[in-house]
Structure 1
Amino acid sequence: MNDYEIIGMEHLPEGPGIIIFYHGTLNIDYVYFISNLYVQKGRLCVSVLDKALFLIPGMKLVFDVAGCISGSKAECLEVLKKGYLLGIAPGGGREAIFSDQNYRLVWGKRTGFAKVALEAKVPIIPMFTQNIQEFFRGYGRIGLIKWLYEKIRMMCLPIHGGFPVKLRTYFGEPIPYDPNITADELAEKTKVAIENLRDRHQKIPGNILRAVSERFVKHPKDD
């Protein structure tokens, strides 16, 4: 549907590592990526989901089968200890709802992923997908939507889209383990790395018609 491509998969380490990505309104790009990773490389990437999703009756079993965890520190460290890749979107549901076609990262002060990376001594690999906000759009600017999310913390909120836009996932250079850096510094370094991928590969503000037309451009300009 989206003529999906991955650029920079060679940046993924052979062993464990944490993939940090920007969360679009609907992160189908991440689903495409982990599917491609398994088909092409035979590798699994365990995914951290919002804890609220595990409260939905019957979904815990589904998530267990799909290789998803709620993201406690102990769970993450165990996954990395086993040699798997771990996928985390620090912005989570809040970024999915409140970011928009300007692709602003909504991380707050979240540094848990950086603490895990430092303790596990693994690299962080930044990931960004071009046009992901043009695939589906939300209504995060509406005050009532913000109030609802903060009250119920569930993502059963209205979205629209399903547009056949071009999606390209870009992986940046790994951020190696550095024992001399703090979690706050590593989190900021990761954020800057994703913003650099965004600024290089995404025209801002996003435009749905342009994103659809890019399906017919072999090598689009990134400026």
Structure 2
Amino acid sequence: MSSGNDSCMNGQESVNYFSCIIRLWEWIGLGNLEDYLSYVDYLVWVFTPLAIVFILPLFILLFLYLSILFLHVYKRKNELKEAYSNNLWDGARKTLATLWDGHATIWHGYEIHGLEKIPNKGAALIVYYHGAIPIDYYYFLAKVIIQKGRTCHSVADHFLFKLPGFKLLLEVFSVMHGPQEECARALKNGHLLAISPGGVREALFSDETYTLIWGNRKGFAQVAIDAKVPIIPMFTQNIREGFRSLGSIKFFRWLYEKFRLPIVPVYGGFPVKFRTYLGDPIPYDPNLTATELAEKVKEGVQALINRHQKIPGNILRALLERFHRRQKDD
């Protein structure tokens, strides 16, 4: 071994570079290089799928930041027109809606059923089930902008407003964190408004059983009563098969309950079929209390889940169903 090592050290041509690396590897006691490379290859094979399912959700965040970047560029380009136009952001909203709609079609074969129930004019409150990542709601917003020519105001959790760089995106797409008075004002002004009563808790801690985690929340119902508008239930099939959270782990639930920190790993990004279903509007009824109306809306969303979702949800089954459907269509 010493002679071979000397040859490497002296730079003799009789020993090529790769042979020197192998001899050096063996000399420092790390064993056979081929066995090591085989072991590394095995580890890569084992852990690559696991890495992918946690990396894919980051692409959604990246897509959101790209949307924000586009808005900043758009704002700078059109800032001189602001004084002359009341609809400065219409072009930006439609452009981003087209991009998100393209993503929805390609990756999830997205469909929406019942869009005609969304009024072309006037106010309505849309109430929906919250997935681990509400990407189905982003797709819904895109469809409303493209096909209805309307912007739907949204209610989001406070933590979203603390994310760096999100301020412009939230402003352009009329996202608010409440309170009830602001929500009622938007509806009274004739806007569409969407809210998920389950919010972050439902996103993180619901699972493949699609349990509604609304607690005793009825503020959304009171908003609809105050504004005298109908409520439209909404649910997206397979949203939990697209993205899952690790909310079943007790540590993450404790972290949220104790400190209100929504720090729960989300994995997925699976290209399962998404279908959003809009239920029949629940009309304004002055005889209903907020508690009664909230229960009626909950029953409406639950009815959509029972009718359109196989429970418990299964990622592999959802993937195979889309694959077989594609083959049949071809």
Q: One fold, TM greater than 0.5?
A: yes
The separation in 2 between residues aligned to 1:156 and 1:66, in whole angstroms, is 25
Which of 163, 175, 180 is matched with 1:56 structurally? 163
Q: Match of 1:217, as an amino acid?
A: R
C-alpha distance in 2 between matches for 1:51 and 1:132: 23
Q: In the TM superposition, what are the counterparts of 1:104-123 in structure 2 within 5 Å?
A: 104-123=211-230
1:3 aligns with 2:85: no
What whole-Å deviation, never above 9, does each CA across 1:25-84 have from its counterpart, x for those lacking one? 111000000001101111110110002322334433431122100121121112112211
The TM-score normalised by the length of structure 2 is: 0.64
Question: Where in structure 2 are the equivalents of 1:137-156 lying within 5 Å?
Answer: 137-156=244-263
Question: What are the Cα deviations for residues 75-123 of structure 1, in whole angstroms up to 9, with x where unaligned?
Answer: 1112112211101000000000110000000000000000000000000
Match of residue 99 from structure 1: 206
Question: Could you tell me how far 1:164 is from its partner in structure 2?
Answer: 0.3
Post-superposition offset of 1:182: 0.4
Q: Which has the higher mean CA deviation after the structures are superposed, 152-161 or 101-110?
A: 152-161
Task: Give the Cα–Cα distance (whole angstroms) in 2 for the partners of residues 194 and 217 of structure 1.
Answer: 26
Tell whether the 8 Å contact from 1:52 to 1:153 is kept in structure 2 after alignment.
no
The runs of 5 or more residues in structure 1 that have no matched partner are 219-223
Q: Distance in 2 between matches of 1:34 and 1:209?
A: 28
**What SS is found at the alignment partner of 1:217?**
helix
Structure 2: gaps of 5 or more residues: 1-106
Looking at structure 2, the residues matched to 77 and 203 of structure 1 have their Cα atoms a distance apart, in angstroms, of 35
1:21 is aligned to 128
CA contact under 8 A between 2:130 and 2:198: conserved in structure 1?
A: yes
CA distance in 1 between counterparts of 2:300 and 2:151 reads 24
Q: Distance in 2 between matches of 1:157 and 1:126?
A: 27
Amino acid at match of 2:119: P
> Secondary structure of the residue that 2:277 maps to in structure 1?
strand
Q: Which structure shows the bigger proportion of residues in helix conformation? A: 2
Q: Stretches of 4+ moved more than 6 A in 1?
A: none
Is 1:210 paired with 2:317?
A: yes
Aligned residues: 218
Q: Distance in 1 between matches of 2:317 and 2:222?
A: 39
Seq. identity, %: 57
Instruction: Tell me if the contact between 2:151 and 2:173 (Cα under 8 Å) persists in the aligned partners.
Output: no
Query: Does the aligned pair in 1 maintain the 2:202–2:214 contact within 8 Å?
Result: yes
- RMSD value, Cα: 1.4
Whether contact under 8 Å (2:130, 2:203) holds in the other structure is yes
Residue in 2 that maps onto 1:221: none
Query: Which piece of structure 1 moves more, 149-158 or 4-13?
Result: 149-158
**Equivalent-residue separation in structure 2 for 1:157 and 1:73 (angstroms):** 28
Q: Is the 8 A contact 1:126 1:173 kept in 2?
A: yes
Structure with higher Rg: it is 2
- Which deviates further from its counterpart, 136-145 or 53-62? 53-62
Name the residue aligned to 1:163: 270
Say whether residues 1:126 and 2:229 are aligned partners.
no
Partner Cα separation in structure 2 for residue 109 and residue 65 of structure 1: 31
Report the equivalent of 2:177. Answer: 70
- Which sits farther off after the overlay, 11-20 or 196-205? 11-20
> What CA deviation, in whole Å up to 9, does each residue of 1:179-214 have, x standing for no partner?
000000000000000100000000000011221233
Distance 1:151 1:50 in 2: 17
- Which structure dedicates a bigger proportion of its chain to strand? 1
SS in 2 for 1:100: coil
